């Protein structure tokens, strides 16, 4: 098992009772709220001047699989970078368990929150195990060398993502799907309670997309990792996420449980596409079937 | 293709190979350190005039009668030490620049440090009066000042437009500055007389003929300062090589790391160039050879490259002194002749 932070355990307990969606926006900043209802990660009214996010308020409950959906250029990646603390919002704030991100040191954030970027291009040829071990950075000092414990955590993360057999391979020789899983393993080795994934399936074929979807659910269920996924793939989001936020022109259009957010009206507004939203008769999953471009 | 997210068979079934960064670090440092030591000790013994180590250290002969000791300590040892210093500084700076720019084809001279140094040196050669009042040799000092000037311009450009340090602007500004300084060098050259032109061309070739220990001692503190800064870098450079955002999300202070990398590698390059001139290709050949041998982890690559760079340049200088003896070639010609084809091979290989 991963050496789970006590934080991870906290997230699990906190996510016990789902909240009505209307109350979710910005509740994290209310100090009188009891701990059990406090979201793991919340952004309140933050805005970014240049890349265009305006008055975003979001609350991501601990233990959830949370999807951020939106068309190209709607600000998903920027939002994810703000949530990760890589970009500073011009106004407003992002809080992690009620604490302003700006007040948490870089390395302490990394122990609680891991990021899987959309694509990873290496400047040099690292092995798969070396990539996984990079997830241990926030747990070691600048001069710390990975010990057997860290190697165990990294190998465990590779095993959890089905890439243990690749550990001696050079990363650059892997296929797109293998690379994505190794990068997820590296994030997993960070032993953080929250994982932010940016378009994890954008360059993958259907089989790999299913793999990543199953992996995200599996890690969420077995390890209690809170997953935040930015994607433009409606069906992927519908199949994987419990909760969704719709992002349009840098603003949150709607957020809440997937079935209440992902509606014909929302899709028409987001993409100007007429679509059917239905449940698959066998799996019971939400499906989006685009019909025609709305005029 | 394995589809399972629960493919844990290899964890239980296969015996994973042992991974110990500590052992890799110790082995690599020991091997490359020993190599550097042997080359640096052997180099002063090699040359057109044969000398014997036993006689060099024979205390029964007074120094002014001991020709072997004089050749060893006065003619050849300073040159070997200068080679070791310059070689290790350029190789380590090459590693750091390649990681900073995320570009395996970067060299210590990519960002214009050497062009600035060259301009400084050439100004000092062409207008010797201006600096003759100073107690220290003017050319190395002017070259150091020139390199710092170039570093300042490139840094100002790379940080001017937006928050943080743009490595794209850094690269483009460096390449452009190289071209611009080359034009200025030609401009100054046009006004110099023949003897000055010969000195300029010789300086540009890159040479370790330092003659005394003084310039080595002058460059040493700067190099040591740069290497102290290097000690903080390797772990963060590994993560930067994966990407700036990925590094930040793993807890790296990206801007701080980039700044430290840029200034320390520039300082090492400036010190090395002020001592030996712009000796080419050491900063790219050595890091790549080392990576082929020890892998990509900068915690191993950086110290290994510094040690291997020392041995490599001293060995090249032995070739330069002996190949056409008694003519002593500038070592920059040798490294360029080895490095050029190597660089091309690297280009073709990375396709």
DSSP string, A158-215: HHHTT-GGGTTSBGGGS-HHHHHHHHHHHHHTTT-SEEEEESTTTT--HHHHHHHHHH
Q: Is pLDDT of A210 > 80?
A: yes
d(CA B287, CA B304): 9
Give the range with max mean pLDDT: A3-17, A245-259, B271-285.
B271-285
State the pLDDT confidence band at A134, using cuts at 50, 70 and 90. Answer: very high
Give the mean model confidence (pLDDT) for residues A223-249. Answer: 90
Other beta carbons less than 10 A from residue A32's beta carbon: 4
d(CA B286, CA B88): 9
Contact A252, A57 (CB under 8 A): yes
For A171, phi and psi rounded to 5 degrees? -55, -40
Contact A160, A184 (CB under 8 A): no
CA B217 to chain centre: 17
- Give the three-class secondary structure for A61: coil
Give bridge partners of residue A292 from the DSSP assignment: A274
Q: Is the ipTM of this complex over 0.95?
A: no
Q: Is pLDDT of A109 > 90?
A: yes
Other beta carbons less than 10 A from residue A265's beta carbon: 9
d(CA A149, CA A146): 8
Higher pLDDT, A42 or A117: A117
> What are the tokens at B221?
């503190």
Mean pLDDT over all residues of chain A?
80
Q: Exposure of A56 by Cβ count < 10 A (0-12 exposed, 13-18 middle, 19+ buried)?
A: buried
> What are the tokens at B149?
């000037």
Contact A67, A237 (CB under 8 A): yes
Q: Which of B242, B244, B252, B303 to mutate to test the interface with A (most CBs of A within 10 A)?
A: B242
For B213, phi and psi rounded to 5 degrees? -85, -15
Give bridge partners of residue A43 from the DSSP assignment: A58, A94
State the pLDDT confidence band at A39, using cuts at 50, 70 and 90. Answer: low
Interchain contact, A117 vs B246, CB within 8 Å = yes
Q: Is pLDDT of A253 > 60?
A: yes
**Taking the alpha carbons of A110, A75, A90, A57 in that order, is the dihedral positive or negative?**
negative
Q: Is pLDDT of A118 > 60?
A: yes
CA distance B56 to chain A (A): 42
Chain A window 152-211: which residues touch B at a Cβ cutoff of 8 Å? 155-156, 158-162, 164-165, 167-168, 175, 177, 190, 196, 207, 210-211
Q: How far is CA A295 from CA A232, A275, B120, B160, B344, in A?
A: 21, 13, 66, 45, 56
Is this model's pTM higher than 0.90 or not? no
Q: Does A293 touch chain B (CB under 8 A)?
A: no
d(CA B304, CA B126): 39
Provide, rounded to the nearest whole percent, the portion of chain A with pLDDT above 70.
82
d(CA A67, CA A229): 5
At B303 the pLDDT is 96
CA dihedral of A101, A105, A108, A112, whole degrees rounded to 10: 20
Q: Is pLDDT of B183 > 60?
A: yes
Contact B93, B109 (CB under 8 A): no
**Taking the alpha carbons of B216, B219, B222, B226 in that order, is the dihedral positive or negative?**
negative
Q: Is pLDDT of B46 > 70?
A: yes
d(CA A267, CA A261): 9
DSSP H helices, chain A, are: 6-14, 76-83, 106-112, 128-134, 148-160, 176-188, 206-223, 234-240, 258-261, 264-271
d(CA A148, CA A41): 32
pLDDT in tens, B229-259: 999 999 999 999 888 889 999 999 999 999 9
Task: Identify the weakest region by mean pLDDT among A68-72, A142-146, B4-8, B130-134.
Answer: B4-8
Beta-carbon contacts of A124 under 8 Å, excluding residues fewer than 6 positions away, are B98, B99, B104, B241, B291, B296
Q: Which of A82, A115, A123 to mutate to test the interface with B (most CBs of B within 10 A)?
A: A123
Q: Which of B3, B19, B243 sits opposite A120 (nearest CB)?
A: B243
Q: Is pLDDT of A28 > 50?
A: no
Q: Is pLDDT of A10 > 70?
A: no
């Amino acid at each position: 098992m991963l050496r789970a932070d006590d934080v991870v355990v906290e997230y699990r307990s906190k996510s016990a009772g789902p909240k009505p969606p209307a109350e979710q926006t910005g509740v994290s900043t209310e100090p009188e709220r009891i701990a059990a209802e406090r979201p793991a990660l919340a952004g309140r009214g933050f805005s970014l001047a240049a890349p265009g996010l305006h008055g975003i308020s979001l609350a991501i409950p601990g233990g959830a699989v949370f999807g951020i959906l939106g068309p190209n250029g709607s600000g998903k990646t920027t939002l994810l970078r703000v949530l990760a603390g890589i970009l500073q919002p011009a106004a407003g704030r992002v809080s992690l368990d009620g604490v302003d991100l700006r007040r948490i040191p870089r390395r302490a954030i990394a122990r609680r929150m891991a990021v899987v970027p959309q694509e990873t291009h290496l400047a040099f040829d690292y092995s798969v195990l070396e990539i996984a071990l990079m997830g241990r950075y926030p747990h070691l000092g600048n001069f710390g060398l990975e010990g057997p414990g860290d190697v165990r955590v990294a190998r465990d993360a590779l095993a959890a993502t089905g890439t243990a057999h690749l550990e001696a391979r050079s990363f650059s020789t892997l296929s797109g799907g293998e690379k994505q899983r190794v990068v997820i393993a590296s994030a997993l080795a960070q032993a953080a309670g929250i994982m932010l994934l940016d378009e994890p399936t954008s360059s993958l074929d259907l089989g790999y997309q299913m793999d990543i979807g199953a992996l995200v659910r599996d890690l969420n269920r077995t390890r209690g990792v809170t997953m935040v996924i930015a994607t433009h793939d409606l069906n992927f989001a519908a199949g994987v996420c419990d909760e969704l936020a719709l992002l349009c022109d840098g603003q949150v259009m709607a957020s809440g449980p997937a079935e209440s957010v992902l509606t014909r009206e929302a899709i028409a507004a987001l993409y100007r596409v007429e679509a059917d939203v239905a449940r698959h008769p066998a799996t019971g999953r939400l499906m989006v079937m685009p019909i025609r471009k709305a005029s | 293709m394995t589809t399972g997210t629960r493919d844990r068979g290899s964890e239980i079934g296969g015996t994973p190979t042992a991974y110990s960064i500590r052992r890799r670090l110790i082995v690599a440092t020991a091997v490359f350190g020993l190599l550097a030591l042997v080359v640096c000790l052997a180099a002063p013994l090699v040359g057109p005039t044969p000398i014997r180590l036993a006689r060099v250290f024979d205390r029964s002969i007074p120094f002014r009668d001991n020709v072997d000791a004089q050749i060893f300590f006065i003619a050849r040892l300073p040159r070997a030490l200068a080679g070791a210093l310059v070689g290790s500084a350029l190789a380590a700076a090459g590693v750091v620049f390649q990681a900073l720019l995320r570009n395996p084809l970067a060299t210590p001279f990519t960002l214009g440090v050497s062009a600035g140094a060259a301009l400084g040196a050439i100004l000092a050669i062409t207008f010797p009066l201006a600096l003759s009042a100073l107690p220290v040799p003017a050319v190395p000092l002017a070259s150091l000042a020139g390199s710092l000037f170039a570093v300042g311009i490139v840094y100002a450009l790379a940080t001017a437009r937006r928050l943080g340090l743009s490595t794209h602007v850094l690269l483009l500004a460096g390449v452009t500055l190289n071209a611009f300084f080359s034009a200025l060098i030609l401009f100054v050259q046009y006004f110099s007389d023949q003897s000055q032109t010969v000195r300029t061309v010789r300086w540009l070739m890159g040479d370790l003929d330092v003659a005394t220990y003084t310039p080595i001692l002058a460059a040493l503190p700067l190099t040591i300062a740069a290497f102290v800064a290097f000690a903080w870098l390797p772990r963060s450079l590994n993560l930067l090589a994966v990407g700036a955002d990925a590094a930040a999300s793993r807890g790296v202070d990206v801007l701080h790391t980039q700044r430290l990398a840029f200034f320390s590698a520039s300082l090492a390059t400036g010190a090395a160039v002020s001592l030996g001139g712009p000796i080419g290709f050491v900063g790219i050949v050595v890091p790549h050879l080392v990576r082929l041998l020890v892998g990509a982890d900068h915690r191993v690559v950086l110290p290994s490259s510094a040690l291997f760079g020392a041995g490599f340049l001293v060995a090249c200088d032995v070739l330069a002194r002996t190949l056409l003896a008694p003519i002593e070639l500038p070592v920059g010609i040798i490294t360029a002749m080895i490095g050029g084809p190597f660089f091309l091979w690297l280009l073709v290989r990375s396709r």
